[in-house]
Amino acid sequence: DSGVTQTPKHLITATGQRVTLRCSPRSGDLSVYWYQQSLDQGLQFLIHYYNGEERAKGNILERFSAQQFPDLHSELNLSSLELGDSALYFCASSQPGYGYTFGSGTRLTVV
Amino acid sequence: AQSVTQLGSHVSVSEGALVLLRCNYSSSVPPYLFWYVQYPNQGLQLLLKYTTGATLVKGINGFEAEFKKSETSFHLTKPSAHMSDAAEYFCAVSATSGTYKYIFGTGTRLKVLA
């Protein structure tokens, strides 16, 4: 157990739907990062939150949004889902310079 | 801006042979460098990291990497491969300030032959 908890582990949904992925960071970590891992794109940085504030955006589609709550857990919302959104979604938490700790990921399948 | 290049998307070695996975980086500021391992259907696990100080970094499972600034490289090595080392390995770079977001390489899948 890495200390970073992601739920659900698997999600199957239809095109056009909306889903929410949840991440609880390791105790004491203020930063949460979201990544998308797909076969053709590799590991792509989506967004970074630090203590509730958005700090950086990467290749995140406008259909995707995220937030970090006061208890530091984060949610990634994916809407108007397309087949191409099928991927593994990872969150990671960190303290600066100490390296990310990754969750085990949510495997999203859009059918 | 930062980037990472991992040479060789697939590497095969015999059990007991040297493992060498190559990583070159580009960074406009002094970097932090990381190697992660991913086993099938699992998340990424930190193998080792370079932040400051000693350029030869030792990690878990017998892996080590050397930061060579002149060559902008951070290659991962292990003297003797074990079957359990078969996995995908990712090199990553981050800035030493600001958002600390990681830029990952495309990964190298290591196969260990009996």
Contact B47, B31 (CB under 8 A): no
* Gap between the Cα atoms of B102 and B26, Å rounded: 13
> Which residues in chain B have their CB less than 8 angstroms from residue A31's CB?
100
pLDDT at B99: 66
Query: Which ranges of chain B have pLDDT less than 50?
Result: none
Contact B107 A42 (CB under 8 A): yes
> Which residues in chain B have their CB less than 8 angstroms from residue A101's CB?
46
Residue A56: closest C-alpha in chain B: B99
The angle formed by the CA atoms of residues A48, A52 and A53, to the nearest 5 degrees, is: 60
Contact A90 B107 (CB under 8 A): no
Distances A58 to A15, B33, B38, B102 between C-alpha atoms, Å? 23, 19, 22, 11
Query: Which ranges of chain A have pLDDT less than 70?
Result: 96-97
pLDDT at B51: 86
Number of Cβ within 10 Å of residue B68's Cβ equals: 13
Distance from CA of B56 to the nearest CA of A (A): 17
Q: What are B57-68's pLDDT values in tens digits?
A: 999 999 999 999
Question: Could you tell me which residues come within 8 angstroms of residue A66 by beta carbon, excluding any fewer than 6 positions away?
Answer: A34, A46, A47, A49, A54, A60, A74, A75, A76, A77
* CB contact residues (below 8 A), chain A span 66-85, against chain B: none
